[in-house]
Amino acid sequence: MAVFYSFVLCFILVIVIPTSAGLSPESFYTAECPRALSTIKSVVKKAIDREPRMGASLLRMHFHDCFVNGCDGSVLLDDTANFTGEKTAFPNLNSLRGFEVVDEIKDAVNRACPRNIVSCADILAVAARDSVAILGGTSFSYNVSLGRKDAKTASWEDANTNLPPPVFNLSQLLSNFQSHGLDLKDLVALSGGHSIGLARCITFRGRIYNDTDIDPTFASSLQKGCPLSGGDNNTAPLDATPKLLDNVYFKSLLESKGLFHSDQELFKNITGSESDNLVKHYSTNPSDFAEDFRASMIKMSNMKPLTGDEGEIRLNCRKVN
């Protein structure tokens, strides 16, 4: 479960990543396949050039993977006779996209490497990082710990339970994030990923017709493309600059123009609210948003990876070996 800021730095900001649960530094594949990461970036760049929305889709796919039993590539598995996977869970069905780009990346990496050594889970983590760096610029670049293995199963039930829907209130959102080891700052910073991409009418219809904390002109404009009945798959931009990862998302919340109910829950204009204060701060301090977004992406990417003898490295990301 987004393309980026207009300011330019003359150097790449790098965060030192503490390795997590057996993960290794970004140089993990360098000795055996020095072209692995550049190959992933090349395919991601071409996919975003074809369709800028794909950057948001790859970021969202990584989020939806990590929030269901950790960053293990389980979201990529097709259903089998032994399990019903995550693709048909309610938060993903007819919504999660970019699987063909992951297939393209996997094929390209396997051609660039002497054997099948790059996991699908690592591909998702790197593709998400490359997407935000391409759409947001160097201020959103960060190093990715590597060495994840791929899950051999997936869970439809867990995907339905663990992914926060766009109708959640702030308390529900925070509880969900805390269950994954993330805190309020992570929630608000990662929600800034909604700075990029599009959303389907069915996901925000309730907000534009029922919510009271929404700018009436904004709601009316959205209702033209999202009627009360029908048009479920019609899309609207998540903020005013859907091809740039920037802080316009937070400025929109201050104007009651959050597209999802869950977006606007981050800013309720309540004195002393920590969430409100973070939204206000990010709306006027884009560099701080970029810094916190990077840090939260690193935390999320390191959630419960399979390493060592756990899992496998799939030859085809859609099925177990």
In tens, the pLDDT along 19-55 reads 455 899 999 999 999 999 999 999 999 999 999 999 9
φ/ψ region of 269 (left if φ > 0, alpha if ψ in -120 to 50, else beta) reads: left
* Contacts for 82 with CB less than 8 Å, ≥ 6 apart: 153
Q: Residue 216 has which token pair?
A: 């009436």
Is residue 275 over pLDDT 60? yes
Check residue 228 and give its pLDDT: 96
CA angle 279, 281, 283 (to 5 degrees): 70
Which of the four pLDDT bands, split at 50, 70 and 90, describes residue 18? very low
Q: Residue 136 has which token pair?
A: 């947001």
What is the maximum alpha-carbon separation in the chain?
A: 58
Check residue 21 and give its pLDDT: 59
Check residue 94 and give its pLDDT: 87
* Contacts for 75 with CB less than 8 Å, ≥ 6 apart: 61, 64, 65, 68, 85, 86, 87, 92, 96, 124, 154, 159
**Closest Cα to residue 137, out of 57, 230, 247, 226?**
247
Count CA atoms within 13 Å of residue 6 on its CB side: 3
% of the chain surpassing 70 pLDDT: 93
CA angle 140, 143, 144 (to 5 degrees): 115
What's the topology of domain 184-291?
Peroxidase; domain 2 (1.10.420)
Query: Which residues are tagged catalytic?
Result: 64
Which of the four pLDDT bands, split at 50, 70 and 90, describes residue 239? very high
Return the amino acid letter for 279.
V
Check residue 113 and give its pLDDT: 96
Which of the four pLDDT bands, split at 50, 70 and 90, describes residue 87? very high
Q: How far is the C-alpha of 177 from the C-alpha of 227, rounded, in Å?
A: 32
Number of CB atoms found within 10 A of residue 21's CB: 16
Sheet strands (E) in the chain = 198-200, 235-237
Residue 7 vs residue 201, higher pLDDT = 201
Is residue 6 over pLDDT 50? no
Contact (CB, 8 A) for 303 and 71: yes
Strand (E) or helix (H) holding 262: helix 261-264
Q: How far is the C-alpha of 166 from the C-alpha of 282, rounded, in Å?
A: 21
Q: Residue 9 has which token pair?
A: 């730095």
Is residue 13 over pLDDT 70? no
* Contacts for 88 with CB less than 8 Å, ≥ 6 apart: 79, 156
Output the CATH code of domain 26-163.
1.10.520.10
Domain-wise residue ranges, the chain: 26-163, 184-291
